[in-house]
Amino acid sequence: MTSSSAATESVLIDSIRPRLHQKLRPLLDESSRCLPILQSTCQQILNHMGPQSNAVNLAQVINRDHGLTCKVLQVANSIAYSPQQTIVSVPHAVSWLGLDTVRSLVAAAHLVEQLQHWPVRQQEFRTLIAKSLVSATYANELGMAIGYPQPGQLFTSALLYSIGDLAIAYQDPDLFLALQAISKTTKRPSECVLQETRLIGVPRLTLAQALAHMWKLPDDLIELFRHPEGLPMEHWQSDLHTYRGIVVGSIQLVEVLAGPAPRTAIEEAKKMLQVGSGLSSGTFTDLMIRAMDRGRQLIRSMGLAIDSSDEAISSHKHDTIESIPHPPPISPTVSTEQAVVSPRDEPATPIRTKPLETLQAFQDSLQAAKDLNGLLGTFVQFLHRDAGFDRVGLALLNQNDSDLLVGRLVCGVTPPAPHLRSLSGSLSREHRFFLTILKRVDPLLVPDFSDQMTETLKQDFLEVWKPTSAIVAPLRVGARPIGLIYCDRATGNQPVLPQDYQVFQLFFSQTTLGLNRLAGIL
């Protein structure tokens, strides 16, 4: 530390010490038990994010820690990062995810490790860290989208921005909760600063600034703490303006998404980021969805959640954005009730008796589809009615969390509800077989489901569908999985044969073309 920065630190600490709430004064004492824990964590994070960190030494750090290895591999294999194969080694994960993402994972793990030092009120601290990780993911994704030279710096700054809150929470949980209440109920920054000063003696960010000085955190992060005022609704003009806009804007957005904020507050937070970044509406919408998804995979790998139900952010239905890569629930052309058709008695199917006419009718129906709902509904109906499959099930990935599969449409079964529920669930915990399907490009003919390891299949799915043989195929828009289709001939007590696979391919290839046509890719 230079003499001038040391002097600045001393002056700042001396100025706030007499005014600071007596329960928080130990934070400014070098002998405080809080300092070694958080200061060491900050330094570990910064070391991993620094220029001296590279793929080789990061892989070594990860390999020495079994828990960290599992976290990195879990994220690497999530659909949010779109792997097209199963990643089983740390070096492969590092090369697939990229250095910045793996650095972020390691940094996050260091912060989460410190939870063991908090003896009480673990949930409040876990929620605070989870929101910091999601904010950091938003900042990183936004930085990459606009070509920011160091997106890793954005991740680190957004992650460490809450370090002052963590210190307060460690020292006195009641004061921390009272400060949280102020930030949730006070709209104007100036009024928020006034109430914080009344409660703890100084503004919350002023204390964070002093701690950042003491812990030798980067100057650019300390600079953020000097500006408690809100962000202006304007395009970012300078590097400093961009840095502050991305970090603080991402934090503010996640804060309103995770709380009971009105729609206007959410839209304003989004607009501030879009106007500042200059991104088009479509690009910004896709970025927001991707950042939310990746943030969720990150906190899940760390054993964290935004709240106890892990649904706080995605519970804002008004925040759901219709986007081609993330189709909304199937409803228009084919409703669930319409789709529940009893098994057919006739052995011959239209695709075998009138192949050209059937395919032409199918192509015409796909061309007439105005959206993904209509197109996927057409696909499911034709598979059941014209291609000879007794049972067909469609499941789509949740728009805000691609670890969640949601059953959307079934044909040939009654009642439909149990079959839809059995298709729904977590890919990483319940539907690991379906996770492998979503990483494929081509359909898979499963001759015998008894050959599959039972732990990779959801028990509810096995009990409800009682699958013997089937075709399971991923649905993709471009390179991104959006869901899967399941079909079999179980109600006719017949196995699915290679000629059935050929028939399926005819319909599947046309559907894939239709999906990409609607997405504007073709």
* Pairwise CA distance, residues 464 & 457, whole Å: 12
Show Cβ contacts of residue 19 under 8 Å, excluding neighbours closer than 6 positions: 201, 202
Of 431, 478, 473, the closest CA to residue 323 belongs to 478
* Pairwise CA distance, residues 516 & 522, whole Å: 6
pTM: predicted TM-score of the whole model, two decimal places: 0.80
Q: What is the 3-state secondary structure (H, E, C) of 301-333?
A: HCCCCCCCCCCCCCCCHHHCCCECCECCCCCCC
Single-letter residue type at 42: C
* Pairwise CA distance, residues 317 & 321, whole Å: 9
Under 8 Å between Cβ of 288 and 441: no
- Locate the domains of the chain by residue range: 3-32+122-319, 336-518
List the chain pLDDT tens, one digit each, 522 residues.
555 555 666 788 888 888 999 988 888 876 665 656 666 777 776 777 666 677 787 888 888 888 888 888 888 888 888 777 788 888 888 888 887 778 778 877 877 777 676 656 677 778 888 898 899 999 999 999 999 988 878 888 898 888 888 888 878 888 988 988 888 787 787 888 899 999 999 999 999 998 888 888 888 888 888 877 778 889 998 888 999 999 999 999 998 888 777 888 899 999 999 999 999 999 999 999 999 999 988 888 888 877 544 443 443 333 332 333 333 344 333 333 333 434 444 457 888 888 899 999 999 999 999 888 899 999 999 999 999 899 999 999 998 889 999 999 999 998 999 999 999 999 988 999 999 999 988 999 999 888 777 788 999 999 999 999 999 999 999 888 999 999 999 866 688 999 999 999 999 999 999 999 988 875
pLDDT of residue 111: 76
Of 365, 389, 399, 368, the closest CA to residue 480 belongs to 399
* Residue 21: both structure tokens together: 């709430």
Domain 336-518 adopts which CATH fold? Answer: Beta-Lactamase (3.30.450)
pLDDT of residue 329: 40
Of 427, 459, 522, the closest CA to residue 83 belongs to 427
Classify residue 280 as exposed, middle or buried by CB count within 10 Å of its CB (0-12, 13-18, 19+): exposed
Single-letter residue type at 28: L
pLDDT of residue 366: 93
* Pairwise CA distance, residues 225 & 211, whole Å: 10
Single-letter residue type at 226: R
Alpha-carbon distances, residue 455 vs 85, 422, 426, 429 (angstroms): 19, 15, 13, 9
Domain 3-32+122-319 has CATH 1.10.3210: yes
Q: What value, to the nearest 5°, has the Cα angle with vertex 379 and ends 378 and 383?
A: 115
How does DSSP assign 257-276, residue by residue? HHTT--HHHHHHHHHHHHHH
| Strand intervals (E) in 276-403 | 391-397
Under 8 Å between Cβ of 55 and 94: yes
Alpha-carbon distances, residue 333 vs 330, 381, 413, 506 (angstroms): 8, 10, 19, 22
- Using the structure block, give the residue that is written with the tokens 């995770």: 258
Alpha-carbon distances, residue 201 vs 179, 189, 198, 206 (angstroms): 12, 17, 6, 10
Q: What value, to the nearest 5°, has the Cα angle with vertex 445 and ends 439 and 451?
A: 90
* Pairwise CA distance, residues 220 & 204, whole Å: 18
**Which own/partner contact pairs does 52-60 have at CB distance under 8 Å and 24+ positions apart?**
53/99, 53/103, 54/99, 55/91, 55/94, 55/95, 55/99, 55/102, 58/94, 58/99, 58/102, 58/103, 58/106, 59/90, 59/91, 59/94
Q: Hey, is 484 helix, strand or coil?
A: strand
Under 8 Å between Cβ of 423 and 437: no
* Pairwise CA distance, residues 239 & 222, whole Å: 16
Other Cβ atoms closer than 10 A to 313: 23
Show Cβ contacts of residue 250 under 8 Å, excluding neighbours closer than 6 positions: 135, 136, 138, 139, 142, 154, 158, 273
